[in-house]
Structure 1
Amino acid sequence: MSGVPTTVLSWGARTGPARLEEIGGLIVTVCNVAVAVGAVVGGVLVDGVSASTPVLVGGITPIAGAAVPVGLRR
């Protein structure tokens, strides 16, 4: 997740300093949901394709995720 939680908390401190606890809770929730989705997708890939498929998908996903913002630049 790199610097996303730090960035969101910094943004929240500037825009709504009274809501830092809510923003922190939101970050925790999003992180937990991301872990759960990754576990489910990985399990489906292992059961449906092969044991090495999640490793391949885990390598391709960050590359695709980096390509999207680069492609959207003008």
Structure 2
Amino acid sequence: MPYAEIDNLPPPVRAHLPLHALEIYRAAFNHAWTQYAARGPLERERIAHRVAWAAVKHKYEKVGEAWLPRAYD
């Protein structure tokens, strides 16, 4: 189930990430969803969410309750 819009992302994701991180999450999830099409539906979704979080964590770090851009970007 690729996400057409940021507003379609799961509420826990939308509630905690800044806009740019949400864009990264959505793009990475949708790409992984396509890449792992041969997997079973539950595994495919699980992998896509893990890939999306990894993409966000590549650009952002959590400091306290806030997600801040990593210094090296």
TM-score by length of 1: 0.35
Give 1 or 2: higher helix fraction.
Answer: 1
Give 1 or 2: higher strand fraction.
Answer: 2
The structure with the larger Rg is 1
